[in-house]
Structure 1
Amino acid sequence: MTYVNYETNEVKLGDLEYRVLQLLKENSRIPVSEIAKKLKVSRSTVSRIITSLQEKGIKFTVEYNEGVTAFVVTSKCPQNAECFELIDGNIMAVIHARDLNELEEELKKINDEKKYLFLSHKKVGKINVRVEMRCDYCGGVIRGSPLILKKGRKTYYACCKACLDGLKNKLK
């Protein structure tokens, strides 16, 4: 299932959509029949997913703006930052921004003393894409590994045992 936030223009993909997109990212010329075979779904399902992705404006080419990242050593974790506690008790805050102006605004919000500041404009190595999975029963975000229920050709994902039981009862 796809979730679209029209305010931010962000698209969150369902599991099957994400897996189709990953295969297309690896090889944009992969035949629909091969995708269907790898994902164990019908060719028409894959065709519908590809058409749906295209209609949502998703392209099968990589257009990626890495923006800028700041690594700040400070004594407190700033809001909207990913933080790690260092051995000496200080905090390493990782702040991501689209450009230097946005980064400057985020850095101004840090009232605490900045002991060290490192800037990065390019990530080296593999880029990880996170996909947000949602429970097919309650719609909540699945954290960790989902509980899986297969019914016929369909696969359902649950966030907890209660939702898995609810799905089983619903699909009887």
Structure 2
Amino acid sequence: MLDKTKKIPALPDAKLDVRAYEAFLIHEARLLDEGFFDDWVALFTDDARYWVPIEAGQADPFETVSLMYDDRRLLETRVRRLSDPRIYSQEPRSRTSRTVNNVTIEPSTGEPGVIVRSKFVLVEYRREDQRLFAGTYFHRLVGEGNAMRIAMKKVELVNCDAPLDGLVVPF
């Protein structure tokens, strides 16, 4: 559990270090593509949120249902299910390829850390079917010790309000 009495070190000046944030996001994408889901979850803080809204421009996860709205515990459950060799929805396993680009730093929201905005494309291939997802990531990244961690990840899908069959693989 995160000790909230300790001061979290400030992240480097965003204007000078956009490449460090970009490298972090690329690392996160690679963990997901290569199936290192436990390592991916380890990037999140203990009180992190992972949110995939169901409406374009949805500002609050509590006003309406979301495609996903997970705390750290639900993320761990999602990963445990993905890691189970008997998970039918992943037989055979999806193969994925993610690209992350157009990384920018957003204005401060007053919360700890830095909001990093980026564009992504995710290709998922499974059972001779290829799906394409695209959208915008918003990561709130905080420093913990010498590491960068995800306190919040919001995934705004371009087609969030379209019928989306069986979302199993994390974005």
Quickly name the TM-score band, shorter chain normalised: under 0.3
Task: Compare CA radii of gyration and give the structure with the larger one.
Answer: 1
TM-score of the two chains, using structure 1 as the length reference: 0.22
TM-score of the two chains, using structure 2 as the length reference: 0.22
Q: Which structure's residues are more often strand, by fraction?
A: 2
